[in-house]
A and B are shown apart, each in its own frame.
Chain A
Amino acid sequence: MRAVDALMECLKAEGVEVVFGLPGGASLPTYDAFYDAGIKHVLVRHEAGGGHAAEGYAKATGKVGVCFGTSGPGATNLVTPICDAMMDSVPVVFITGQVRTDLLGTDGFQEADTMGITMPIVKHSFMIQDPQELPTIVHEAFHLARTGRPGPVLVDIPVDLSKADIDYAPTGDIELPGYQPTTEGNQRQIRLAAKALAHAKKPVIYAGGGVVNANAANELVALIQAGNFPTTCTLMALGALPANEPQWLGMLGMHGTRAANYAMDEADLIVAAGARFDDRITGMLSEFAPNAKFVHIDIDPAEISKNVPAHIPIVGDAKNVLSRLLAEYRSLEVDHSRLDEWWETIHGWQEKYPLVYEDSADEEIKPQFMIQALHEATGGSAIVTSDVGQHQMWTAQHYGFDGPRKWINSGGLGTMGFGLPAAIGAAIGCPGEQVVVVSGDGSLQMNSQEFATLVQEGLPVKVFIMNNGFLGMVRQWQELFWDKRYSAVDLQDYSPDWVKLADAYGLAGFQLTNKSTLVDDMKRILELDGPALVDVRVTREENTYPMIPAGEPARNMVG
C-alpha cells in the first residue's frame, strides 16, 4: 500500500475524527488518499486557520488535533499555530508535505526547511526518510503530542516517499527510549505538601492550564472544597474552579482581580498546580509573593523552579497528584477555622475592590457590559473562544466560566486571529454545544478568511465583535505609558462593513448599538440555526482595569 494510505490507517487507529488542512503540490498524494479514506477533512482557507482550528478542537475536547499543510509556504504559514500550541501545551500533530528527496537542500520550488524553522517551537519533530518508518513515526507523534506535557509534534513527509509502496501492518509500536514523562507524583513530597497546607495560615491555590490539560478540574475542586482554600486561576485555567464557587478569587495576574493578586502577595503558602509563573502572573519577579513558600506541581520538571524556586517540588500529572494530595490532606483532619482570619482579610478585599466599571448613562454599550450581556444571553455555559487584546481580558474577567474547556484562547503566545478558527475546531469537536467567539475588530481581520470555512461546514458559531475601532490594548498602553501618542492603532475608518462582509460570506450579519436591548438581541441571534457575525459597537476608549503595570509588583495595581 502507498505510505499515504498507511497514514490514513494510522490516523483511524489513533481515533482521529477530523483533520484540518489545505492541500498543495507536495501533499497531492496525501490528498489523494483522503479522497476515499473516510476521514472528515475540513478545508480551511489559510494554513494558520487550520492550525488554530486543530488547537481549538484539541482544547475543547482534550483529544489530539490534526492539521495538514503542504511544503514551503504551507508549512511556514503553520509556524504561528505551532508556536501557539507549544506555548499553551496544546496536543496537535502537524503533518506537512515536503519537496521530493532529490530536491532537498537545492532551494526547490516550494521548499522550506520546515524541520529547521520549527525546531525551537515543537515538542518534537520527524522527517520521514524511509517510507517504511511512517506508521511507527505517526504513532510516536500522537503519543508525544498527547502524553506528558502536551504539545505540537510535526511530521514532514517528502512527496516521493509519500507515494512509495510499503508493507503495512497495523502497529502500535513506539520506540522513544528518551521519552519517559513522570506522571506519578512522589508520595513523600505529596505528604509534605499536605502537611504544609494544613499548617498554612494564608494558603492560596494557584491553578494553571496544566490542570485543564490533565482533566483534573474535579480533583482540584475537591481539594479546594475539602480545605476551603482561597483559589485563583490563570487565564489558561478559567473554569477549572467554577466562578460561582465561594473559594473563587478571580483570575490573577496583570488584569486579575485585586483579591487574587493581593492574596498571592500576602500568602504564606502557594500551591501552584500546572502553572508556570509567567511574567504576566508574577509582575516584578523579585517582589512576587514575598512571604510565600511554594508547592509546585507540574508534569514538566523544567518548569519547576524555572522562574520561582519551589520549596516542595512535585513532578507529576495534576490529576494523579491532586487526588492523592486531597487524600493526604483529609487524613490530617485539620480544622478549617484556622483560615477564618485569612478569609476575613480576603473578603475585605473583595468588598473593597470588586470588578466594577462605570456604566454609561445612555445607550452606549460598555465593553464590560457587553460581556455580562453575553453571559446572560448564553446562560453562562457557552464555549467561548477569543482573540487577543482588551476583549480577551474583559471576557476573562466578566464571563464567569462554569467549567473547564469552555474558555479557549491564546494565552502564552497571544495570537490575534486565533478565535474564529479555534471556534470552528471547538464546534466540530463539541457538536450540540453553543460556541461563541468574542473578537475584536482588529483581531478578527487576521483570519477572517475562515468565515468561508465556517459557512461551508454549516457550524452554528456566533461571532461577536467588540468593535471599538482601535487596536484597543495597544491604544490603552499608549494612553497610559506613552503620553497618549496614538501610533498606528486607529482602525475606525478603514474596517470592513461587517454586516456586508457577513453577507458576502453567506452568514447572517447584525450590528448592535443599543444597550437596553442588547441581551434580547443577543438571545435572538443565538437562537439562529446557522452562523452569525454580530458587530457590537462599544465605547471607543475604555481601559481594561485593574492592571499591574508591566514589571511591577502586584500591590502596585492601578484602576
Chain B
Amino acid sequence: MAEPTFDSLNLDDLEASVGHMTGRTHVLTILVENKPGVLSRVAGLFARRGFNIDTLAVGPTDDPSLSRITLTVDGAVHPIDQVTKQLHKLVNVLKIRDLEPGEAVERELALFKINAEGAQRAEVLQIVQIFRGKIVDLGHRTAVVEITGTEDKVTAFEEMIRPFGLVELSRTGSIAISRGRGET
C-alpha cells in the first residue's frame, strides 16, 4: 500500500489487519534458550490464554544452549498473531516462525503396535510396505511398526491398520524445518 498523502487519506479506508482467524492449522517452530522451566512457560502460556496445542515436540538443536519447540495450533479457533505475540513476550523465546505450508518440510514419527496373528499377518506387512514403514519388533502375536511422514500420512496409516486390531499407538507430533538455505 502506498503511503497516503494528507489529501488522499480517508478514515473510512483504514482497515484493521490483525486479529483474524486464518482457519488452518499452523506449525510454529520456536527457538528457545535451553533453561529450566522454558517448556513450562510455553505450555503455561497456552493454558492460561486458552490456546489449545494440537501437537508439541521438543528437542535439542545443533547448539546445546538452544532447544526447538515445534507445535501445531488450530488457526480456526485462535488468532495466530495473538498466540505468537504472547510467545514473543517470554524472555527465553528467541525466535518464532509460523511456517507456511509450502515453505517447510514437516515430519512426524509414530510407533504402532498391531495385531499380526495368523492369516492377517501377511496383509499387515503388505500395508506397512506400501506406507514405507519399518517393522521394529515382531512377535508371535503383534508387530511394532515405525511410520514417518506428514501428519496426514500417519493418520492415513492408522485408518488402514485399525481394522486389523490396533493395540497401541504413540505419536511424536510434528517437527518441521524450512526448505532452502535460510534458517528456520
Q: Which residues of A contact B (CB under 8 A)?
A: 115-116, 119-120, 123-125, 127, 129, 144, 176-179, 188, 191-192, 195-196, 198-200, 268-269, 293-294, 300-302, 304-306, 309-313, 332
Q: How far is the CA of A101 from the CA of B3 in the complex (A)?
A: 59
Contacts of A127 in B (CB 8 A): 36-37
Contacts of B119 in A (CB 8 A): none
Q: Are B90 and A269 in contact (CB under 8 A)?
A: no
Minimal Cβ-Cβ distance residue in B for A149: B89
Q: Are B91 and A306 in contact (CB under 8 A)?
A: no
Q: Are B91 and A115 in contact (CB under 8 A)?
A: no
Q: A195-B9, A198-B6, A310-B16 are in contact. Are A305 and B81 (CB under 8 A)?
A: yes
Minimal Cβ-Cβ distance residue in B for A268: B11
Q: A191-B3, A192-B4 are in contact. Are A124 and B14 (CB under 8 A)?
A: no
Partner of A195, one of B6, B41, B44: B6
Q: How far is the CA of A124 from the CA of B48 in the complex (A)?
A: 16
Q: Are A312 and B14 in contact (CB under 8 A)?
A: yes
Minimal Cβ-Cβ distance residue in B for A179: B91
Contacts of A192 in B (CB 8 A): 3-4, 9
Residue B92 interfacial (CB < 8 Å)? yes
Contacts of A195 in B (CB 8 A): 4, 6, 9
Q: Are B14 and A178 in contact (CB under 8 A)?
A: no
Q: Are B48 and A120 in contact (CB under 8 A)?
A: yes
Chain B, range 9-66, C-beta contacts under 8 Å to A: 9-11, 14-16, 18-19, 32-33, 36-37, 40-41, 44-45, 48
Closest CB of chain A to B119's CB: distance in Å? 53
Query: What are the 5 A-B residue pairs with the smallest beta carbon separation, nearest first?
Result: A309-B16, A302-B85, A311-B14, A305-B19, A305-B18
Q: How far is the CA of A188 from the CA of B94 in the complex (A)?
A: 27
Sample of 6 more A-B contacts, CB < 8 Å, known A119-B40, A311-B14: A116-B40, A178-B91, A192-B4, A195-B6, A306-B19, A312-B14
Q: Are B16 and A294 in contact (CB under 8 A)?
A: yes
Closest CB of chain B to A96's CB: distance in Å? 15
Q: Are B91 and A301 in contact (CB under 8 A)?
A: no
- 7 A–B contacts, CB within 8 A, in A order: A116-B37, A120-B45, A144-B91, A191-B3, A305-B82, A309-B16, A311-B14
Contacts of B45 in A (CB 8 A): 120
Residue B88 interfacial (CB < 8 Å)? yes
Q: Are B18 and A129 in contact (CB under 8 A)?
A: no
Contacts of A124 in B (CB 8 A): 91
User: Helix, strand, loop or mixed for chain A's interface?
Assistant: mixed
Q: How far is the CA of A294 from the CA of B16 in the complex (A)?
A: 8
Closest CB of chain B to A212's CB: distance in Å? 21
Minimal Cβ-Cβ distance residue in B for A296: B16
Minimal Cβ-Cβ distance residue in A for B89: A302
Q: How far is the CA of A115 from the CA of B19 in the complex (A)?
A: 32
Q: How far is the CA of A176 from the CA of B91 in the complex (A)?
A: 7
Residue B176 interfacial (CB < 8 Å)? no
Minimal Cβ-Cβ distance residue in B for A295: B14
The CB with the most chain B CB atoms within 10 A, among A188, A191, A195, is that of: A195
Q: How far is the CA of A313 from the CA of B82 in the complex (A)?
A: 14
Partner of B14, one of A115, A177, A196, A305: A196
Q: Are A300 and B11 in contact (CB under 8 A)?
A: no
Q: Are B82 and A200 in contact (CB under 8 A)?
A: no
Contacts of A120 in B (CB 8 A): 44-45, 48
Residue B86 interfacial (CB < 8 Å)? yes
Closest CB of chain A to B112's CB: distance in Å? 36
Minimal Cβ-Cβ distance residue in A for B10: A199
Partner of B9, one of A177, A178, A179, A199: A199
Closest CB of chain A to B181's CB: distance in Å? 23
Q: How far is the CA of A309 from the CA of B16 in the complex (A)?
A: 6
Partner of A119, one of B15, B32, B41, B94: B41
Q: Are A309 and B19 in contact (CB under 8 A)?
A: yes
Contacts of B6 in A (CB 8 A): 195, 198, 332
Q: A120-B48, A200-B11, A309-B19 are in contact. Are A178 and B85 (CB under 8 A)?
A: no
Q: A195-B6, A195-B9 are in contact. Are A306 and B16 (CB under 8 A)?
A: no
Q: How far is the CA of A132 from the CA of B10 in the complex (A)?
A: 59
Residue B80 interfacial (CB < 8 Å)? no
Q: Are A309 and B18 in contact (CB under 8 A)?
A: yes
Contacts of A198 in B (CB 8 A): 6
Contacts of B145 in A (CB 8 A): none
Contacts of A116 in B (CB 8 A): 37, 40
Q: Are A300 and B89 in contact (CB under 8 A)?
A: yes
Residue B93 interfacial (CB < 8 Å)? yes
Partner of B82, one of A123, A306, A311, A312: A306
